[in-house]
Amino acid sequence: MMRDIQRICLEPTEEDHRWFPDIAGCRDWRNVLKQAWEGYRDESFVQQFLSPKVIRDFRMFALTEDDRNNWYTVSGIHDESGYQTVRDTLERIGDLSLSQPIIQVVDVDLLGDRVLHLQHRKVAGMPLDEADSKATLQHCKRLWGYEVELTESPVSSAR
């Protein structure tokens, strides 16, 4: 990608001008790279600077998994309509926030049994690890001082 950014800055194609109007042909590739390294994390760098040429050269494609089926669907290939899908998919893979579980307090009966009700929302269809789930519940119970219950959200979350 670094060499491709240099190419875009020095010898841009018409496609580069469409995808990267701010840097295509600017000639200052070193400064573009410096700003990219300073201003973007890995996943946002990919989202911002992965070019259609690199996607084509490496024959990248995106797969989508559906929990209801035991197969993958090709959701984006190295063509005009698939470039953004490939970029988005790579960005999601690198985004650490998508790999962390989301557990929220959804209810507590402060005047009754004081059970703290937690709910886990799946992120990208990922279930909680059973051992981590038990350890989390034990820790929450110790902090809360009363029973703690954890349920799965019926609706999966994309983020």
List pLDDT tens digits, range 35-91: 999 998 888 898 899 999 999 999 999 998 877 788 888 999 888 889 989 988 887
Average pLDDT score over the chain? 87
Q: Quick one: average pLDDT of 9-22? A: 97
Q: Quick one: average pLDDT of 8-27? A: 97
**Is pLDDT larger for residue 159 or for residue 56?**
56
Rg of the chain over all Cα atoms, to the nearest angstrom: 22
What's the pLDDT score for residue 68? Answer: 79
Burial class (CB in 10 A: 0-12, 13-18, 19+), 22: exposed
**Is pLDDT larger for residue 87 or for residue 153?**
87
Q: Report domain extents, the chain.
A: 2-97, 100-152
Contacts for 153-158: CB closer than 8 Å, 24+ residues apart: 153/119, 153/120, 153/121, 153/122, 155/121, 156/67, 156/121, 156/122, 156/124, 156/125, 157/102, 157/121, 157/122, 157/123, 158/123, 158/124
What's the pLDDT score for residue 157? Answer: 46
List pLDDT tens digits, range 120-132: 887 666 677 888 8
What Cα–Cα distance (Å) separates residue 87 from each residue in 14, 58, 68, 69?
20, 13, 25, 24
What's the pLDDT score for residue 148? Answer: 93
pLDDT confidence band for 159 (50 / 70 / 90): very low
Alpha-carbon distance of 126 to 42, in angstroms, equals: 22
pLDDT confidence band for 96 (50 / 70 / 90): low
Report if pTM > 0.75: no
Going by the DSSP 8-state scheme, the letter that residue 11 receives in this structure is S
SS3 23: coil
